[in-house]
């Protein structure tokens, strides 16, 4: 059978041109195997043929959201772990078909095409009979098998056990809400560049192409359905950028309340790919005297900063350097004067953006939290002396783990008596639209998980 099936969430293909489902399942299994081997899904997807990539991405991200359930079912069907690639194909199929109410394909079609994928792959052909037997058994015994795995934490929550236990300790009242939100697909949110347009104009342009949208936060627009960036009205002209509503809080938090009647020196440390750098410039306004330095250690990612700023018609000093080593760039690439404001978007586990990047939960190890916390503490210690007395530093991470958030700041304040914590959001837990009950005042109703702490340096 050579069935061609459209993939939910992927751009529509011309009639008759959709690749066969077996081919997409093959590619999805290869991406899942790469993720299990430690590679991020976006990087692994670059190895997929461009004609297949949109559909395979939609498949893979759905599989990663339900991988815990799929792995639990596979253990019931085959207690001995198969070789990596056939196991990835089997788990891919199980993740897509286990919940019949919203399965993206007819179960028998998917099983047929998964077996076809195994038969057509030299690496999986010897296991094609095994894949067929497991999936046919699943179709016969679906309800009993799902019931048998229902109480397993990995299957129920689709997160590693250590992650679940960590959330229970860090957020004893909200841990279940966090996990539920993580398993939902994040919406696309735009940030409006108010130097070039208005939110009303952006909303009108979206209505013109039959996209339902609404205001979110101070500068954002939440789309009813995701679009390829090339199809977003005004994107190429720099009218909008793609940025989650929680990330859009950084620029206002850092700049609001500062005296902008005089020139401001601002550092965006760990700046790539440049979304927050651009928002600092947009939020300051065209008339503000603001000198922004965007710093990142990765030359390729610094090129992304340049590209984003060019598209938006903005200008900043972009420096390739390690923020942990100010002696290497402060006074050479950057004038040796303190900064009025520093934005430190520190490297972290990315545990707050799991609904947007579902591979994160399977890539991280619990030991990563402590290792990253050391890096975060070092960055805070190295950058704090670069803040002018009376200035401020905004520390943020896209993490829900307290060791990367409030515990990090508690330790910093205990050792820096010249630092004062100003009113800050603290930990923002992921919220999903209409399910976001108990939303805090003045915060968007739909956002990723984030942490913010605004620190003021005492004068004199």
149 φ, ψ (degrees, to nearest 5): -105, -5
Q: Please check the confidence at residue 191 and state whether its pLDDT lies above 70.
A: yes
Binned at pLDDT 50, 70 and 90, residue 357 comes out as very high
Q: Please check the confidence at residue 246 and state whether its pLDDT lies above 70.
A: yes
Q: Supply the pLDDT for residue 79.
A: 87
Q: Supply the pLDDT for residue 275.
A: 96
pLDDT in tens, 365-413: 999 999 999 999 999 999 999 999 999 999 999 999 999 999 999 999 9
pLDDT, average across residues 8-33: 75
How many angstroms separate the first and last alpha carbons of the chain?
77
pLDDT, average across residues 60-76: 97
Q: Supply the pLDDT for residue 17.
A: 63
pLDDT, average across residues 242-260: 94
Q: Please check the confidence at residue 4 and state whether its pLDDT lies above 50.
A: no
pLDDT, average across residues 260-274: 93
Q: Please check the confidence at residue 6 and state whether its pLDDT lies above 60.
A: no
DSSP-derived 3-state class of residue 431? strand
Q: Please check the confidence at residue 12 and state whether its pLDDT lies above 70.
A: no
> What CA–CA distance (Å, rounded) separates 354 from 360?
6
Binned at pLDDT 50, 70 and 90, residue 441 comes out as low
pLDDT, average across residues 136-157: 96
Question: Pick the catalytic residue: 270, 302, 396, 398?
Answer: 398
More confident residue, 21 or 445: 21
Q: Please check the confidence at residue 210 and state whether its pLDDT lies above 70.
A: yes
Q: Please check the confidence at residue 16 and state whether its pLDDT lies above 70.
A: no
Q: How many CB atoms lie within 10 A of CB 160?
A: 17
Q: Supply the pLDDT for residue 100.
A: 82
Binned at pLDDT 50, 70 and 90, residue 437 comes out as very low
Q: Supply the pLDDT for residue 332.
A: 86
Instruction: Calculate the alpha carbon distances from 407 to 440, 454, 456 in Å.
Output: 21, 14, 18
More confident residue, 15 or 285: 285
Q: Supply the pLDDT for residue 118.
A: 97
Of the listed ranges 19-33, 202-216, 323-337, the one predicted with least confidence? 323-337
**% pLDDT > 90, the chain:** 86
Q: Please check the confidence at residue 15 and state whether its pLDDT lies above 50.
A: no
Q: What dihedral angle (degrees, nearest 10) is formed by the CA atoms of 125, 127, 131, 134?
A: 160
- Look at the alpha carbons of 49, 55, 57, 61 in this order and tell me if their dihedral is positive or negative: negative
> What CA–CA distance (Å, rounded) separates 156 from 359?
17
Q: Supply the pLDDT for residue 333.
A: 85
| Contact of 199 with 282, CB cutoff 8 Å | no
Q: Supply the pLDDT for residue 339.
A: 97
Active site annotation includes 398: yes
Q: Please check the confidence at residue 305 and state whether its pLDDT lies above 90.
A: yes
Q: Supply the pLDDT for residue 435.
A: 47
pLDDT, average across residues 90-104: 92
Q: Supply the pLDDT for residue 64.
A: 98
Binned at pLDDT 50, 70 and 90, residue 442 comes out as low
Burial of 346 (C-beta count, 10 Å sphere; 0-12/13-18/19+): buried
């Amino acid at each position: 059978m050579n069935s061609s099936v459209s993939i939910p969430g992927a751009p529509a293909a011309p009639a008759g041109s959709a690749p066969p489902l077996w081919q997409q399942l093959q590619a999805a299994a290869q991406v899942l195997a790469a993720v299990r081997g430690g590679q991020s899904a976006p990087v692994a997807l670059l190895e997929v043929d461009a004609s297949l990539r949109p559909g395979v991405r939609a498949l893979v991200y759905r599989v990663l959201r339900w991988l815990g359930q799929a792995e639990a079912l596979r253990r019931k069907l085959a207690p001995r772990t198969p070789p990596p690639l056939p196991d990835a194909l089997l788990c891919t199929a199980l993740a897509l078909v286990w919940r019949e109410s919203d399965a993206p394909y007819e179960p028998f079609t998917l099983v047929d095409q998964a077996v076809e994928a195994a038969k057509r792959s030299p690496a999986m052909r010897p296991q094609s009979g095994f894949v067929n037997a497991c999936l046919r058994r699943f179709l016969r015994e679906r309800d009993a098998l799902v019931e048998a795995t229902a109480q397993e934490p990995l299957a129920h929550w689709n997160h590693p056990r250590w992650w679940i236990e960590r959330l229970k300790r860090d957020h004893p009242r909200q841990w279940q809400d966090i996990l539920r939100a993580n398993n939902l697909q994040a919406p696309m949110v735009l940030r409006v560049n108010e130097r070039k347009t208005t939110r009303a104009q952006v909303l009108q342009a979206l209505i013109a192409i039959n996209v339902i949208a609404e205001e979110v936060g101070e500068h954002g627009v939440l789309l009813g359905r995701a679009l390829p960036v090339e199809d977003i009205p005004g994107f190429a002209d720099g009218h909008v950028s793609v940025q989650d509503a929680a990330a859009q809080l950084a620029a206002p938090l850092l700049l609001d309340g500062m005296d902008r009647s005089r020139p401001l020196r601002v550092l965006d440390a760990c700046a790539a790919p440049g979304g927050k750098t651009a928002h600092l410039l947009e939020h300051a306004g065209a008339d503000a005297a603001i000198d922004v330095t965007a710093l990142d250690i990765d030359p390729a990612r610094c090129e992304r900063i340049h590209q984003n700023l060019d598209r938006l018609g903005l200008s900043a000093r972009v420096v390739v350097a390690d923020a942990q080593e100010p002696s290497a760039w402060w006074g050479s690439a950057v004038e040796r004067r303190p900064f009025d404001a520093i934005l430190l978007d520190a490297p972290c586990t990315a545990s707050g953006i799991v609904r947007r990047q579902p591979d994160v939960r399977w890539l991280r190890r619990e030991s990563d939290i402590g290792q990253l916390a050391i890096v975060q503490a070092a960055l805070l210690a190295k950058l704090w002396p670069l803040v002018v007395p009376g200035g401020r530093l905004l520390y943020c991470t896209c993490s829900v783990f307290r060791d990367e958030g409030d515990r990090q700041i508690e330790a910093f304040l205990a050792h820096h008596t010249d630092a004062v914590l100003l009113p800050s959001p603290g930990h923002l837990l992921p919220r999903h639209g209409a399910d976001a009950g108990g939303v805090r005042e003045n915060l968007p109703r739909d956002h990723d998980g984030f942490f913010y702490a605004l620190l003021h340096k005492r004068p004199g």
